[in-house]
Structure 1
Amino acid sequence: MGTTTPYIGLVGIPSGQVTLSDRRTERSWTVDLAPFRLGALPATREQYAQVTGERPSTARGGERLPVETVSWRDAVVFCNSLSQQEELTPFYGFDDQGEVVVSEPSAGGYRLPTEAEWEYACRAGTGGPRYGPLDDIARYRGNSGERPHEPGGRLPNPWGLHDMLGNVWEWCCDLYDPDVYGTYRVLRGGGWFDEHWSCRASVRRRSHPTFRVDDVGFRVARSVTD
């Protein structure tokens, strides 16, 4: 395990409401959200190595690139390990079969955002599919050189969050559609290899919680408990 606790810059997100939609099922639903905190940037290779002692990423580049080739379960383990390093109550637990459960819903430890939190934070009060011109805010197939880039190199959204679109897809806490896809989890945001239509605030993707690929990472969140 890593021995140095990394600095995680969190942005305070106000309470509010967001309406999500799914093109496959043609349904929409509205979610009320309490205040929470969200990483200003996706987790980096350096942070991941400091917490876990591992370097799973496959793309060429330095330690400040977003960590990728990490599964949903890897991201959950990172959150719990970082919580323990900071002496916070871990958000996640594991049952007798090793499956992840939320054991402390009100815990102050690190976690993945829900997809409603993610989309609400991504939009940051804006109403369109993106919070700015795509080339100004995101690394996607049209400008990435087909590789990831250091987070923070493009303009943030109005709430100070960088790379919410493009660079790497981000795991969210939620199951995608358990009746149809079982344990598949939600991915949001689009990545460096995606065309422009995948880099929109409303786009939903899904995959198995053990899936790893070179354009999928995550950013951390924390509940406001005080």
Structure 2
Amino acid sequence: MLKRYSSLLFALFFIAPVSQAQVRSSIELVLVKGGSFLMGSPGSEPERGLDEVQHRVRVSDFLMARNEVTQKEYRDLMGNNPSEFLGDDLPVENVTWFDAVRYCNALSLRDRLTPAYAFRDDKSGDFTVTWDRSADGYRLPTEAEWEYACRAGSTGPFNTGDTITDAEANCYNHYGYNNTSDRIVGGYRRSTTAVRSFRANGWGLFDMHGNVAEWCWDWYGEYGTAGRTDPAGADAGSFRVNRGGGWNDFPKHIRSAYRSPMAPDEGMYSIGIRVVRNR
């Protein structure tokens, strides 16, 4: 049973033209144009997981924050900072999934948008979170949206290609991806780094690999093989999904297709938040 947890305007960057009136926002957003892609990983991908069954998915247009939520952004809005590694420009971490959805709602109210989430108590003292998919407020990405945006049109293990280096992402890259020896090939920073410290992917999004993993909306569950449009994960479950891996993860755990389940009432110093909105 889940325990109850209570835990202006910057320039907008777009992949394609959208009027400012359509995307009123206090944070920098990228318009991710929808399309169809193969979600998951092929059987030939080194170090893949069995839960990454490849299947075709179609995603609608959406807006995604260009970077992970910083500690300053979180503290200024929520009045606290749960992070292990402190710094205004470092990503907030140690946040639970419930913290993340509450942050989304608070950000929506600040920007005079309709909150995407509703919280409902039940008789056992737990509560459920429902998502109004028509709301224009901030929310967490679905797994499909997250992977589509991370890939930015790429099809390999990483949006950088078949491998990734410590100059391209903050992760535990001491031995590199698919390394078959003990040869040291990369570094290990042992903490988060300021957002936007590494080159953005092809669609202008920073730190989609490493630094902190990012909470998604979805319950963790099997994909199946049927093609779908705008899937939102399993109907119920015990764990929510986070994506992208963190500063302390091996390269195989920051791949575009890698899925990590975690209880929604738990946080970790390598898990943070990136928000999205409907277009």
Q: Same fold (TM over 0.5)?
A: yes
**Contact 1:80 / 1:111 at 8 angstroms: preserved in 2?**
yes
How big is the shift at 1:182? 2.0
State the match for 1:203 in structure 2: 258
Distance (whole Å) between structure 2 residues aligned to residue 26 and residue 46 of structure 1: 35
Q: Deviations over 1:73-100 (max 9, x none)?
A: 1000000000011110000001233211
Look up the equivalent residue of 2:150 and give its one-letter code: C
Distance (whole Å) between structure 1 residues aligned to residue 167 and residue 205 of structure 2: 13
How big is the shift at 1:120? 0.4
> What percent identity do the matched residue pairs reach?
39
Greater share of helix: 1
SS at 1:54 equivalent: coil
SS at 1:146 equivalent: coil
Which TM-score applies when normalising by structure 2? 0.74
Distance (whole Å) between structure 1 residues aligned to residue 32 and residue 51 of structure 2: 29
State the match for 2:212 in structure 1: 168
State the match for 1:18 in structure 2: 37
SS at 2:267 equivalent: coil
**Contact 2:67 / 2:195 at 8 angstroms: preserved in 1?**
yes
Look up the equivalent residue of 1:99 and give its one-letter code: T
**Contact 2:39 / 2:55 at 8 angstroms: preserved in 1?**
yes
**Contact 1:5 / 1:85 at 8 angstroms: preserved in 2?**
no
**Contact 1:176 / 1:185 at 8 angstroms: preserved in 2?**
yes
Distance (whole Å) between structure 1 residues aligned to residue 166 and residue 51 of structure 2: 30
State the match for 1:94 in structure 2: 119
Count how many residue pairs are aligned between Structure 1 and Structure 2: 219
Q: Where does structure 2 lack aligned partners over 5 or more consecutive residues?
A: 1-7, 11-25, 42-48, 174-186, 223-233
Q: Deviations over 1:194-214 (max 9, x none)?
A: 111112101111011111110
Distance (whole Å) between structure 2 residues aligned to residue 172 and residue 122 of structure 1: 13
Distance (whole Å) between structure 1 residues aligned to residue 141 and residue 51 of structure 2: 23
How big is the shift at 1:62? 1.3
SS at 1:76 equivalent: helix
Instruction: Give the counterpart of 1:78 among 80, 99, 103.
Output: 103
Root-mean-square deviation (CA, aligned residues, Å) is: 2.1
**Contact 1:5 / 1:50 at 8 angstroms: preserved in 2?**
no
State the match for 2:247 in structure 1: 192
Look up the equivalent residue of 1:16 and give its one-letter code: G
How big is the shift at 1:176? 0.7
Greater share of strand: 1
SS at 1:137 equivalent: coil
